[in-house]
């Protein structure tokens, strides 16, 4: 597909593209892989630091009634490498340009891990384009409590690392600790080149805009078995966002949104639909 697959760029398109389309559009000069699924209020999905859009496929069936918009970030998956490293604010503007490309002027925003930091940046620089915000397994970027060193080294290494068996569980915790084979189905492999690796790490620079400036209803979701971003970080984050709600998932790991979508997804969908929590998503089934 070409850029015309999703329509011309610009907000508030008068006609929506067909449902469930995957293809490429030109976003800020980069040939970008974008996928649109479902119908209903738009929901922009922002993945973790190495995640490709296919990672969302396990979660999307558990988000009925929403038009999900996902994409491979610059230099990730099937999206072109940018000519220069992009800071976090630059990536936030890129995400907003993806919304333009599919004809949406505003959307709910869901970000996981690195994508949660990016989602905060989007909500800070363009609050008028964000409805509700969901931040999963992420941090405020302030008063950060580091994860376990061995887990961080496994996640951030540009070289092939052992992501099987007990090593996978020690890195990601949660269900993967109990069933490491799940990891192979989550489309979360490291970048395919050293250049892509360094470009992606550049996005950890340039943070500006503080969480307390976010004025959108926000769900902060964390697991209590996350070796990469300990749950204390989400408690800090929720305390800084005025209109936030915190849920701690007992037994949930860093990738609980993907490895346990049937348990976690309905809480996300309910919050985005404006439902009041009727309990706590505090236990994942074994």
Report helix, strand or coil for 223: strand
Residue 143 phi, psi (nearest 5): 50, 45
Residue 241's alpha-carbon distances to 85, 133, 206, 212, in angstroms, are 29, 11, 20, 5
Distance CA(211)–CA(209), nearest Å, equals: 7
Among candidate residues 113, 137, 140, 260, the one labeled active-site is 113
Question: Across-strand partners of 24?
Answer: 33
Contacts of residue 144, defined as CB under 8 A and 6 or more positions apart, other chains included, come to 233
* 113 labelled catalytic: yes
Distance CA(184)–CA(251), nearest Å, equals: 20
Any idea what DSSP says for residue 250? B
Among 118, 114, 123, CA closest to 229: 114
* Residues catalogued as catalytic: 113
């Amino acid at each position: 597909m070409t850029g015309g697959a999703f329509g011309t760029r610009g907000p508030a398109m008068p006609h929506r593209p067909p449902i469930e389309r995957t293809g490429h559009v030109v976003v800020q000069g980069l040939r970008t892989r974008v996928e649109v699924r479902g119908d209903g209020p738009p929901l922009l999905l922002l993945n973790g630091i190495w995640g490709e859009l296919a990672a969302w496929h396990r979660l999307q069936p558990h988000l009925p009634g929403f038009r999900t918009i996902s994409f491979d970030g610059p230099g990730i998956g099937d999206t072109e490498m940018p000519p220069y490293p992009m800071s976090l604010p630059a990536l936030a503007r890129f995400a907003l340009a993806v919304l333009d490309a599919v004809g949406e002027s505003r959307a709910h925003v869901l970000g996981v891990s690195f994508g949660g930091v990016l989602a905060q940046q989007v909500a800070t620089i363009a609050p008028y384009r964000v409805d509700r915000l969901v931040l999963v397994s992420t941090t405020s970027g302030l008063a950060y409590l580091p994860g376990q060193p061995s887990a961080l080294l496994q996640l951030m290494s540009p070289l092939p690392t052992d992501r099987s068996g007990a090593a996978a569980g020690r890195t990601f915790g949660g269900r993967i600790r109990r069933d490491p084979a799940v990891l192979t189905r989550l489309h979360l492999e490291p970048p395919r080149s050293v250049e892509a690796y360094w470009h992606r790490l550049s996005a950890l620079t340039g943070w500006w805009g503080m969480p307390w400036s976010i004025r959108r209803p926000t769900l902060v979701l964390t697991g209590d078995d996350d070796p990469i971003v300990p749950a204390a970080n989400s408690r800090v984050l929720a305390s800084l966002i005025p209109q936030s709600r915190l849920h701690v998932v007992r037994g949930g790991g860093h990738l609980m949104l993907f490895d346990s979508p049937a348990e976690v997804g309905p809480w996300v969908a309910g919050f985005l639909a404006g439902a009041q929590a009727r309990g706590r998503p505090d236990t994942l089934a074994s």
